[in-house]
Amino acid sequence: MDPQDRVIVVTGAGSGIGEALCRHAAGNGARHVVVTDLNGDEARRVANEIGGTAEVLDVSDEAAVAALVERTESSVGPIDLFCSNAGFVTNAGIEESNEIINKMWEVHVMSHIYAARAVLPSMITRGEGYLLNTASAAGLLSQIGSVGYTITKHAAVALAEWLSITHHHQGVRVSVLCPQAVETNIIANSPTLRDQGADLGGGVAGGDGVLSSADVAVSCFEAIAQERFWVLPHPEVANYVERKATDIDRWLGGMRRFQTALYPDGPLPGDAIAPKL
- CA angle (9, 15, 19) in 5-degree steps: 40
Q: How far apart are CA 141 and CA 46, in angstroms?
A: 32
CB-based contact 221:6 (threshold 8 Å): no
d(CA 91, CA 146): 5
* Closest-CA residue to 60 (of 105, 13, 12, 107): 107
Report the C-alpha gap between 145 and 272 in whole angstroms: 11
SS3 at position 134: strand
Catalytic residues: 149
* Secondary structure (DSSP) of 153-197: HHHHHHHHHHHHHHHGGGTEEEEEE--S-EESSTTTT-HHHHHHT
